[in-house]
Structure 1
Amino acid sequence: MDMDLHDIVGFLHETARSVGAEFTSPWFYLQVGLILASAGVAFAVNTAVSSRIEAGSLATHWPAPLRLFVRTLVGSAAAAAFAGEMALTRLIMASLTWPSRSYLISVAANLAFAWLIIRLVTSGVRNSFIVRTVSLLAWLVAALSILGKLDQVVAALDSVSITLAGLRLTPLLLINFGVILIIALWLSNIISNFAESRITQSGDLTPSIQVLLVKMIRLGLVIFAVIVAMGAVGINLSALAIFSGAAGVGIGFGLQKIVANFISGIILLVDKSVKPGDIVTIGDSSGRISAMKTRYISVAAGDGREFLIPNEDLVTQKVTNWTYTDKNTLVKVNFTTNYEADPRLVAKLAIKTAKDAERTLKSKPPSCLLTEFADTGVKFSLTFWVSDPGDTDNVKSEVMMALWDVFKREGIQVPYPVREIRVRGGALPVETIVEASS
């Protein structure tokens, strides 16, 4: 570890001495009082602006960038008011006394203006985490530059280093790498979202190919962003060759499931065995595939639940795809009638009822078969086709309701079990009957 302690101690000593000199001056307390008073006025201005102006409805007919700029400016009314007050106070004090006696106010004004400019510049970024991170880092750099301490802080951060496999790692390098990586990932996310919107609008690509292209573009842009960030800070990729073995061991022991699910997801998209919109049954889970992610697929059930099933399960387990080659689905309705009913009439009525149902498939006619002469009655099996596998339960219920109405109208009875209890040896004693009734 290479550390220049003399420079760090000298920097801290100089900073403490300058701060101590400021505390002994009465102008310091005057400036602090003016800054606090200006902060109170700025807070009052922000409260008045937020209560009287609705930022969401402001400049609704203006162009989007200008509208966003104005809304950000209104939302930063406190910073704008404070910066304006500090600048005006600085001008007044500079005209009345020595400029050194208003140094603290000048610093406060510059910091306020820097924060306001950063907020306006980052107003177009949607990700709140990136906005906060970039704003804070940019403001710290601006503050150090305003105070004249930026070069010394940079030198101090670059003086501490650790050398690994010929690569010199310093806090300054890591900070630069993190900032550049965040910006590169943000830009890659914008590009991938634009590419995704264009791909999903293309009617020539199947849903599986669309998802595959989006995943490959996102993965490629992330890798490209990391390479660009490493190259920007001077990290040679060949210096990281020593970490490849450790990464392989990590994948083999700790990340094997993640890698297996990722590879399985690529296989599923290439072979098109499942795709978004399919009706599938995997184990005890059934529903429509709503999304295919890098690690799992989302299967939406009809009751509001969503099953997140790892991609590996779809490759290694039995999967029932109701819409793999044909979305048409056969629905079977079993019912029983009494022996007094004419079986030919029952079959004819059942076929007509299924054919008249609104959501049954008209291109494939229904059929009704007599399957068994049972003890309870004559059993029939009515089959018909529907075009949407997700609608089978509703159509089945609709056909059974219609059958009930037809049987009622034609006098056809649906048998149900009747149980008789016979007591041998005569009637029960009166006392027993009374006790049983009580």
Structure 2
Amino acid sequence: MFPKIRDFLHYPLITISGGDITPGSVIVGVVVVFLSAILASIASRWLRTLLGARGLSHGAQFAASKILRYSVVLLGVLVGLSSMGIKLDALIAASTVLAVGIGFGLQNVVQNFISGLVLLIEQPVSKGDFVKVGNAYGVIEDIGLRATQIITRDEVTIIVPNSELIASAVINHSRPTTNLRIQVTVDVSAKCDTALVRDTLLEVGAKHPEVITTLGVEVRLDACNEPAFLFVLLVWIPDPREDLRIASDLRFAIEAAFKEKGIEGPIPERINYHRAGLPRALREN
């Protein structure tokens, strides 16, 4: 029985560049690749723990562990192919033909793969960063070899090809700090006391518990056209992901403060006419 098993394991299935591939060599190669994947996972977790103990950021830990995992798996694949009887020098010799195939059929895949390596090495964006890609805001969940996963405010996952993050404009709200200045626009009647409006807005902005008052609270008068004046309250917040909620809190507080101090808004039926003359960015706020 054992001689038959040995003969089966050594039976040449195919010969590539003088190297025989047998069932036994295939089993050995698969086991080597499988073990390399396990080793890569263990090494990746170990490196993240080590870097975390040294105080490196989560993004740097993620990038370093990912590169280590890919390197160990690649080494395992090469060793596995060699164990199967495939000569690596033959693969290198065939790389020219492979490059032609890549140029015609796998160009986008290779482009995204290289872009993924650039993202992991240069780290213009990292895991956990809050970014804007196109019209979507979200947190980077994972940077893979082909694409990056971004989870939006609505808990929807967007798959973005890595090449787009390299070639397109990406706004990273987590660099160099997570501080973000938000603007809240307010229309008031042109008959109101502008100094009272300014002081009220400054008071409301300074009272919000999540506003970074040390960075300053600012009020601007952006338009003085009849029938309304347009004021803008600018405040700094520590977490860009909370901009919509904090802006809403400020609007509620502003309305309550205006009612308390008798500050009137503009004539409702003329607001659209008034705002139509403003720059588009202000009309949309």
Q: Secondary structure at the match of 1:378?
A: strand
Which residue of the partner structure matches residue 404 of structure 1? 255
Q: How has the CA–CA distance of structure 1 residues 407 and 219 changed in structure 2, closer, same or farther, with 3 Å as cutoff?
A: same
Question: Whose radius of gyration is greater, 1 or 2?
Answer: 1
* RMSD over equivalenced CA pairs, Å: 2.5
1:365 maps onto 2:220 in alignment: no
Matches within 5 A, 1:192-207: 192-199=44-51, 201-207=52-58
Asked if 2 retains the 8 angstrom alpha-carbon contact of 1:297 and 1:309, the reply is yes
Q: Report the CA distance between 1:358 and its aligned residue.
A: 0.9
Q: Which letter does structure 2 place at the counterpart of 1:170?
A: T
Which residue of the partner structure matches residue 248 of structure 1? 99
Quick check: which one's helix share is greater? 1
Q: Report the CA distance between 1:414 and its aligned residue.
A: 1.7
1:259 maps onto 2:110 in alignment: yes
Q: How has the CA–CA distance of structure 1 residues 173 and 269 changed in structure 2, closer, same or farther, with 3 Å as cutoff?
A: closer
1:323 maps onto 2:174 in alignment: yes
Deviates more, 1:268-277 or 1:346-355: 268-277
Q: Secondary structure at the match of 2:138?
A: strand
Question: How many angstroms apart in 2 are the aligned matches of 1:232 and 1:165?
Answer: 14
Q: How has the CA–CA distance of structure 1 residues 251 and 415 changed in structure 2, closer, same or farther, with 3 Å as cutoff?
A: same
1:218 maps onto 2:36 in alignment: no
Cα deviation 1:193-216 (Å, max 9, x = unaligned): 3334433x2343234432332122
User: Percent of counterpart pairs with the same letter?
Assistant: 27
Q: Report the CA distance between 1:155 and its aligned residue.
A: 1.4
Q: Which letter does structure 1 place at the counterpart of 2:130?
A: I
Which residue of the partner structure matches residue 186 of structure 1? 38
1:378 maps onto 2:225 in alignment: no
Q: How has the CA–CA distance of structure 1 residues 372 and 250 changed in structure 2, closer, same or farther, with 3 Å as cutoff?
A: same
Asked if 1 retains the 8 angstrom alpha-carbon contact of 2:138 and 2:151, the reply is yes
Which residue of the partner structure matches residue 173 of structure 1? 25
Q: Report the CA distance between 1:321 and its aligned residue.
A: 1.8
Asked if 2 retains the 8 angstrom alpha-carbon contact of 1:185 and 1:222, the reply is yes
Question: How many angstroms apart in 2 are the aligned matches of 1:225 and 1:418?
Answer: 71
Which residue of the partner structure matches residue 9 of structure 1? none
Higher relative contact order (CA 8 A, sep 6+): 2
Which residue of the partner structure matches residue 76 of structure 1? none
Q: Which letter does structure 2 place at the counterpart of 1:371?
A: D
Asked if 2 retains the 8 angstrom alpha-carbon contact of 1:161 and 1:170, the reply is yes
Runs of 5+ unmatched residues, structure 2: 271-285
Asked if 1 retains the 8 angstrom alpha-carbon contact of 2:190 and 2:266, the reply is no
Which residue of the partner structure matches residue 158 of structure 2? 307
Q: How has the CA–CA distance of structure 1 residues 180 and 342 changed in structure 2, closer, same or farther, with 3 Å as cutoff?
A: closer
Q: How has the CA–CA distance of structure 1 residues 178 and 376 changed in structure 2, closer, same or farther, with 3 Å as cutoff?
A: same
Matches within 5 A, 1:61-100: none
Matches within 5 A, 1:2-151: 149-151=1-3
Asked if 2 retains the 8 angstrom alpha-carbon contact of 1:337 and 1:378, the reply is yes
Cα deviation 1:90-121 (Å, max 9, x = unaligned): xxxxxxxxxxxxxxxxxxxxxxxxxxxxxxxx
Cα deviation 1:307-363 (Å, max 9, x = unaligned): 221211011111122232232222111111223421111111111111111111111
Q: Secondary structure at the match of 1:360?
A: coil
Asked if 1 retains the 8 angstrom alpha-carbon contact of 2:28 and 2:84, the reply is yes
TM-score by length of 2: 0.83
TM-score by length of 1: 0.56
Q: Report the CA distance between 1:371 and its aligned residue.
A: 2.5
Q: Report the CA distance between 1:221 and its aligned residue.
A: 1.1
Q: How many residues in Structure 1 have an aligned counterpart in Structure 2?
A: 270
Deviates more, 1:390-399 or 1:180-189: 180-189
Q: How has the CA–CA distance of structure 1 residues 341 and 329 changed in structure 2, closer, same or farther, with 3 Å as cutoff?
A: same
Asked if 2 retains the 8 angstrom alpha-carbon contact of 1:192 and 1:221, the reply is no
Q: Report the CA distance between 1:226 and its aligned residue.
A: 2.5
Question: How many angstroms apart in 2 are the aligned matches of 1:272 and 1:182?
Answer: 29
Asked if 1 retains the 8 angstrom alpha-carbon contact of 2:8 and 2:23, the reply is no
Cα deviation 1:172-206 (Å, max 9, x = unaligned): 4323432343344334433333334433x234323
Which residue of the partner structure matches residue 10 of structure 2? 158
Asked if 2 retains the 8 angstrom alpha-carbon contact of 1:167 and 1:239, the reply is no
Which residue of the partner structure matches residue 393 of structure 1? 244
Q: Which letter does structure 2 place at the counterpart of 1:406?
A: A
Question: How many angstroms apart in 1 are the aligned matches of 2:168 and 2:3?
Answer: 61
Question: How many angstroms apart in 1 are the aligned matches of 2:118 and 2:42?
Answer: 27
Asked if 1 retains the 8 angstrom alpha-carbon contact of 2:179 and 2:239, the reply is yes
Asked if 1 retains the 8 angstrom alpha-carbon contact of 2:128 and 2:141, the reply is yes
Of 125, 133, 137, 1:282 maps to: 133
Q: How has the CA–CA distance of structure 1 residues 179 and 405 changed in structure 2, closer, same or farther, with 3 Å as cutoff?
A: same
Q: How has the CA–CA distance of structure 1 residues 182 and 414 changed in structure 2, closer, same or farther, with 3 Å as cutoff?
A: same
Runs of 5+ unmatched residues, structure 1: 1-148, 420-438
Question: How many angstroms apart in 2 are the aligned matches of 1:346 and 1:413?
Answer: 10
